[in-house]
Structure 1
């Protein structure tokens, strides 16, 4: 049985110039076998994780998830390779893979097959095994800054620093000089579509997958 990993989603070009030295590195962006999505693989908190980084059909939802509360979650940024640990002595990682085509988790392994291919194999309850080969479309990913975060590090208070006196409204106050009144400067407009954890911007809506809530929450 062929393990079809639907991520519901697209590809944004190829990546060339890889060297044999990168053959054992599974990190980077990979196109799934049927070309409907890219999966970004990165090392997060000591394990390999993968998340959908690009969709062929934007706006996909995890509609086949048996958990009703997750049926409407976006497939972009959704974790597909889950907590995969390196096997001793071999360039292979094992853990779980989420198959959005049927909403099920499978035991799985990923194995680099040269610098440009990643073999993924999965089984249900130790049988009905299948697999496919993904093709590299993005370079290996350096270790995430999130990996260096100490669990006991002090958390930010979340309160933005107040502007220093005279900076925010300086221009407006100058314009009112001599009139006997001062007009406070208008508040700066809020940026449209505030970035979510892991996001980098419009060109890369997923960013560092280690910062995605689903992955960061599982690891901690």
Structure 2
């Protein structure tokens, strides 16, 4: 994979985890499904990405150290909410003619929202890039740990929602994880049915999370 020329300013994003590092340019790759569970570069959490009502959304589905709280949220009523299940990627729309989605990312490190894009790099990596005021951009690569997620019953009425097979992707050869190995995370879906929570999958269908289900388009 080729790296961008020049130096990109680092942007410390926090999505229940810290995102930092130089952004990596993408080489041409086959279209891939951005849905599923993704291990962040430093290995501290997984983000579950799913299509909900025609947009891509992401929420924390696993934490290396359980019990995190959104303590830097400027809204006092949210400072004690758990980071597990917290929405991080918000209403990301597909860009016409490109395998890229753009929207917002919630930065729990400072409690702010930033413009962001996600771009699949093959079947097992997802590039995320965040920017402040359209510049000072930085990003990192997430690694797939769960298969693509079929369209949720919660958004069955969404117009133009693409179908997903739900088949587990084959691992691409020659790829490396950007962080040291972390403890195994629960598989996407686990023993819980879509929209239900269980010991193997405490988050379930993220499209049913109140913040996503109640989002006004």
Fold shared, TM-score > 0.5 on shorter chain = yes
> Would the alpha carbon gap of residues 136 and 19 (structure 1) be closer, same or farther in structure 2, given more than 3 Å must change?
farther
Deviations for 1:99-149, whole angstroms, at most 9, x for unmatched residues? Answer: 111111110000001111000001111111111110100000000011125
Deviations for 1:77-105, whole angstroms, at most 9, x for unmatched residues? Answer: 01000000000001000000011111111
How far apart are residue 9 of structure 1 and its match?
A: 6.2
Separation in 2, partners of 1:204, 1:4? 28
Instruction: Check conservation: 2:69, 2:83, Cα contact below 8 A.
Output: yes
How far apart are residue 42 of structure 1 and its match?
A: 0.2
Alpha-carbon RMSD: 14.7
Aligned-partner SS, 2:13: coil
How far apart are residue 197 of structure 1 and its match?
A: 9.9
Aligned-partner SS, 1:72: coil
Structure 2 gaps, min length 5: 1-8
Moved more, 42-51 or 127-136: 127-136
Separation in 1, partners of 2:30, 2:81? 34
Separation in 2, partners of 1:211, 1:191? 15
Separation in 2, partners of 1:27, 1:69? 30
Instruction: Check conservation: 1:24, 1:112, Cα contact below 8 A.
Output: yes
Instruction: Check conservation: 1:109, 1:121, Cα contact below 8 A.
Output: yes
User: What does 1:102-117 align with in structure 2 at a 5 Å threshold?
Assistant: 102-117=110-125
Which has the larger Rg?
1
> Would the alpha carbon gap of residues 56 and 148 (structure 1) be closer, same or farther in structure 2, given more than 3 Å must change?
same
TM-score by length of 2: 0.71
> Would the alpha carbon gap of residues 86 and 46 (structure 1) be closer, same or farther in structure 2, given more than 3 Å must change?
same
Instruction: Check conservation: 2:124, 2:169, Cα contact below 8 A.
Output: no
Q: How many residues align?
A: 206
Instruction: Check conservation: 1:61, 1:73, Cα contact below 8 A.
Output: yes
* Partner in structure 2 of residue 133 of structure 1: 141
1:3 aligns with 2:11: yes
Instruction: Check conservation: 1:197, 1:213, Cα contact below 8 A.
Output: no
* Partner in structure 2 of residue 179 of structure 1: 173
From 66, 76, 79, give the equivalent of 1:58.
Answer: 66
Separation in 2, partners of 1:210, 1:134? 21
Structure 1 gaps, min length 5: 163-176
Runs of 4+ aligned structure 1 residues displaced above 6 Å come to: 9-22, 150-162, 177-197
How far apart are residue 38 of structure 1 and its match?
A: 0.1
